[in-house]
Homo-oligomer: A and B are copies of this chain.
Amino acid sequence: MANIYEVKSYDPSQSVAQLMGRVRVEMLAALDRELSADPQLSALGVTAAQFVVMVRLVGNENRGSESRKSASDLCKELSYDAGAMTRMIDRLEKKGLVRRMRCMKDRRLIYLEATELGRAAYPRMLEMSVAVQNRFLHGLDKAQVEQLTNILNRMLQNVG
């Protein structure tokens, strides 16, 4: 049950918390730059944060899982705050990428659906996201990335 870090020897700049924070910031910034530089997508003004939501709406549709998702479903999947999700969907709806549809059976629910525009933009966005991540992972082999993935899952499991 050895502790990894000790207060005495703790170096914040090399802690996993701060390193992961910086990697995440750099990845989102890189994707944001590419999204706004792409001639097809720049007009939509989609941000990386918005893309993450679109992935869940469109991406899983192609994989055959239940396509009708509510806002609270997305919150659970992404550990998102419900209030934040409302406003995120406002922005996506204003850009014409997503539609809200009140469920008639349970009128508390609002199903979310990607519009044609959203679906059309999706493949290019996905391609960019994959490319950005591959660039960050350059020089690492698949075994290392698999171990990284396992460690991250373990960290989530430790507190979930």
Q: Give A residues with C-beta under 8 Å from B.
A: 1-7, 10, 12-27, 30, 52, 55-56, 59, 77-79, 123, 126-127, 129-130, 132-142, 144-145, 147-149, 151-156, 158-160
Contact = CB atoms under 8 A, between A and B. Distances in A.
Nearest to A144: B151
A134 B14 contact: no
Contact of A26 (B5, B7, B144, B159): B159
Is chain A's interface secondary structure helix, strand, loop, or mixed overall? helix
B152 A16 contact: yes
A52 B18 contact: yes
Across the A-B interface, the 3 shortest Cβ-Cβ residue pairs: A19-B152, A3-B134, A12-B55
B133 A5 contact: yes
A70 to B, nearest CB: 18
